[in-house]
Structure 1
Amino acid sequence: MYAVVDIETTGGKYNEEGITEIAIHKFDGHQIVDSFISLINPERSIQPFVVNLTGINNQMLRNAPKFYEVAKRIIEITNDCVIVAHNSQFDYRILRTEFKRLGYDYKRETLCTVELSKKLIPELDSYKLGKLCRALGIPVTDRHRANGDAIATTKLFQYLLDKDVKKEIIKSAIKNEPKLQLDPKLNDIVDALPTKTGVYYMHRADGEIIYIGKSKNIKKRVNQHFTNSSHKSKKMQSQVATVTYEITGSELVALLKESEEIKRNKPLFNRALRRTIFTHALYSFIDKDGYINLKIDKANGKENPITTFANRQSAKSHLFRITEEYHLCQKLTGLYNTKTNCFNYTIKSCNGACMLKETPEEYNKRVKQVITKHSFENKNIIILDKGREYDEHSAILIENGIFKGIGFYNLNYQINNIDVLKSLITTMENNRDVQHIIKSYLRRNRVKKIIEIPNS
């Protein structure tokens, strides 16, 4: 199955472009079986020459969905598909960059119709999409718009599939990660590992831990380490003697254990992970008119943040989401720099705090809901999630906003007494990284249940 993709962007510096329009046609080699076409709000300005080329301008994209709003659909329609594009290196790089900004590692196999055309039709003067289609009698409409170019690329790809009778060139053109043969010793290690969620530890022959990681599939992740050809991976492969592991069931518990174990053991190959794992934070302050303002800033370790983020882009994306969800003012959340009203007020999505038309009391109620939802300050809660077996839950204890530790309990034993549940908790260190892990995980994932503990 193939996913034929065409992307239009804002232009600009390498890896700083934003998507303005995307078209994806799921193609089974004979016909299109599914399609996704959408303008995208890139949250940045379009270069003038791009506006002239595509006809897409900033005004057209004001109400278009942002990338995070369509990301799930893109993952679904391209799942188990080979990405096909005319100059796939560009389109695939743009997609991976956008997903990376959301903290998601998007990987697909790719095929480039430019490369395939040069191999299968070597006699042509030009391999630009328009000229190539004209030479082959393929109709092109709406040139330099995503859907027009994607339809043309689909028809071109159909032509190339027909041209490649034995499918040998198509297969060889698919960009696969290299399949390396494992050293027999490493193969034995992988065979003994489970496919469950947990934390794994790589040891040297003397028992020293050289690397700690977490995964939702330990066997698969360790196998990736052992087949990776990077300099770091090769050094790890040469030193590892055995791999031990702990099943956690819950990915959140695995993240917390990984963080603590790395700080405690300081493994040789985890140097990058010893540093703080977030750079930006969401803060609040009250302005001269009595409104609670929100702002994104670099995490400084002095102020107490509402929540923290791995980078500025993910912080900004989240702030856009909560601004829309809670009908906050873009001016008071720092997303719209203006001396008058914010854009949302113009389209009646803001109640007018920027113009002093909504009282601070009414506006601040919604901001406090955001702060309460995302901050653990003074909170007493237990987060319940998956356990190591089907009849078990994991429990993460937060007391007075401080992370206390984790534990597991069997579902066959009904625990109604919070003190009994607390007694099952293994104490762990509270720090800024742990707070970030918990808050960011809860923003992006569901857990079984969150129990509020009444103050005694």
Structure 2
Amino acid sequence: MNPEREIQAFVVNLTGINSSMLRNAPKFYEVAKRIVEITDDCILVAHNAQFDYRILSTEFRRLGFDYERKTLCTVELSKHLIPGQPSYSLGKLVRSLGIPVTDRHRASGDALATVKLFKMLLDKDTNKTIIKESVRLNPKLQLEPRHLDILEDLPSITGVYYIHNSDGEIVYIGKSNNIKKRINQHFTGTNHKSKKIQAQVHAVTYEATGSELVALLKESEEIKRNKPIFNRALRRSIFTHALYSFTDENDYINLKIDIADGRKKPITTFSNRQSGKSFIMNAVEDYNLCQKLAGLYKTKTSCFNFEIKACLGACVQKESPETYNKRVKSLIDKNSYSNKNMVIVDKGRDVDERSAILIENGVFKGIGFFNLNYQINNIEVLESIITPMQNNRDTQHIIQSYIRRNKRLKVIELKET
């Protein structure tokens, strides 16, 4: 913008912008109408929003226009949601969080960096305070909404969606690989829950995740935190069966699919018995295991595979326990992240972004997003971009099931610093 006055020396030193660079830039009165249009019914988000809003209000007042908008300050939000940072200036903060910034102290560069920072803050706001407050305050949404109008603004992307009532409260949380299609199903459904949602829906907000795994983890975490009234009481777990191991009297490691028992530590978990059985059948083939010791073939003698020379004879002690157990341990190690430090890397929300799921010492720590140009093999750096989440049996099941289904998923083993 051309401020129609000389730029002070300290501003020139700070930004590198001088008066001659702005000679042909538009004057405020030339773009004022457009600013009013693009910010209509919007909340202004800025780093140190009080400063930017004061400048805008002052300029509009000079034109005789009373400019009023709600604001959100990413400095204040950052202090609350990312405490302990050495500096909250935009440049230093985004650098410490691994957010790439170009054209520093220019409108496009600073604005894009603020957008990326705000996205990270929305991710870290697991209580959804920012979104709930914005729905409640947005005057546009105080009218009776039509379902078609809500659908029109929704994208066909992977993410988590939030259905709000007129007070901004979240009444339902869901996850989908196509948010628009899923909300349409809620709006056209004829069952009891769908009709209740249709009667109360006032707005739908969403968070893109890019990754189905991130969406599943966010949905699980946020349902537990926000307890929406139309999310049915969560079952004690979203899995019913688990894989356990024990060593028999001959020192062979045996495997067994059984009903999940919270008192025992499973290797991995399954949604039902059939998926557990399919897993074991594939494992027997992939790792050349014994059907009898894998719990698939009940017999007091040899297993069927031994008869057709497809089993090396652990069932009748023809193969040594040491040799056999080595293969079983590889299977266990592959399907359990117990005591491991690792990052699961999956799709991001944009082409130049990836999602990161951090596991430290076998404990799920949380999720985050990083730019492709950013190194993520250091636990300390990772922790600054990660939104902390609860580690529980449900998250373990979600992660292990997803890894099993997605064989080509990238997993980075981390070295302790």
Global fold match (TM > 0.5) = yes
- Any unmatched runs of 5+ in structure 2? 1-143
TM superposition shift of 1:206 = 1.3
SS in 2 for 1:268: coil
For 2:333 and 2:269, the matched residues in 1 are separated by 14
For 2:298 and 2:378, the matched residues in 1 are separated by 51
**2:210 maps to which of 227, 239, 249:** 249
TM superposition shift of 1:416 = 5.4
- After superposition, the C-alpha distances for 1:85-119 in whole angstroms (9 at most, x for unaligned) are xxxxxxxxxxxxxxxxxxxxxxxxxxxxxxxxxxx
The equivalent of 2:171 in structure 1 is 210
The equivalent of 2:259 in structure 1 is 298
TM superposition shift of 1:412 = 3.1
TM superposition shift of 1:418 = 4.1
The equivalent of 1:312 in structure 2 is 273
The equivalent of 1:340 in structure 2 is 301
**Does 1:435 pair with 2:396?**
yes
TM superposition shift of 1:239 = 1.2
TM superposition shift of 1:274 = 4.9
For 1:208 and 1:447, the matched residues in 2 are separated by 39
% identical equivalent positions: 69
The equivalent of 1:263 in structure 2 is 224
- Say whether the 8 Å CA contact 2:378–2:415 is kept in structure 1: no
SS in 1 for 2:315: helix
Matched AA of 1:444:
R
The equivalent of 1:367 in structure 2 is 328
For 1:317 and 1:274, the matched residues in 2 are separated by 24
For 2:263 and 2:278, the matched residues in 1 are separated by 24
TM superposition shift of 1:441 = 0.6
For 1:247 and 1:447, the matched residues in 2 are separated by 22
For 2:245 and 2:313, the matched residues in 1 are separated by 19
For 1:370 and 1:448, the matched residues in 2 are separated by 17
For 1:416 and 1:427, the matched residues in 2 are separated by 18
- Say whether the 8 Å CA contact 1:262–1:274 is kept in structure 2: no
Matched AA of 1:445:
N
TM superposition shift of 1:348 = 1.5
- Say whether the 8 Å CA contact 2:377–2:412 is kept in structure 1: no
TM superposition shift of 1:209 = 1.2
TM superposition shift of 1:208 = 1.7
For 2:179 and 2:330, the matched residues in 1 are separated by 38
For 1:261 and 1:400, the matched residues in 2 are separated by 24
TM superposition shift of 1:296 = 0.8
Matched AA of 1:421:
L
- Any unmatched runs of 5+ in structure 1? 1-182
TM superposition shift of 1:359 = 0.4
TM superposition shift of 1:218 = 0.6
- After superposition, the C-alpha distances for 1:148-174 in whole angstroms (9 at most, x for unaligned) are xxxxxxxxxxxxxxxxxxxxxxxxxxx
- Say whether the 8 Å CA contact 1:386–1:448 is kept in structure 2: no
The two structures have a TM-score, normalised by structure 2, of 0.64
**Does 1:223 pair with 2:155?**
no
Of the two structures, which has the highest relative contact order with CA contacts closer than 8 Å and spacing of 6 or more? 2
The equivalent of 1:451 in structure 2 is 412
Matched AA of 1:359:
S
For 1:232 and 1:431, the matched residues in 2 are separated by 28
- After superposition, the C-alpha distances for 1:304-350 in whole angstroms (9 at most, x for unaligned) are 10000111111111111111111111100111011111111112211
For 2:221 and 2:377, the matched residues in 1 are separated by 29
Greater alpha carbon shift after TM alignment, 428-437 vs 274-283:
274-283
Change in 2 beyond 3 A, CA 1:221/1:284: same
TM superposition shift of 1:184 = 7.3
Larger Rg: 1 or 2? Answer: 2
TM superposition shift of 1:455 = 3.4
- Say whether the 8 Å CA contact 1:383–1:447 is kept in structure 2: no
- Say whether the 8 Å CA contact 2:186–2:194 is kept in structure 1: yes
CA RMSD of aligned residues (A): 1.5
The equivalent of 2:247 in structure 1 is 286
TM superposition shift of 1:419 = 2.5
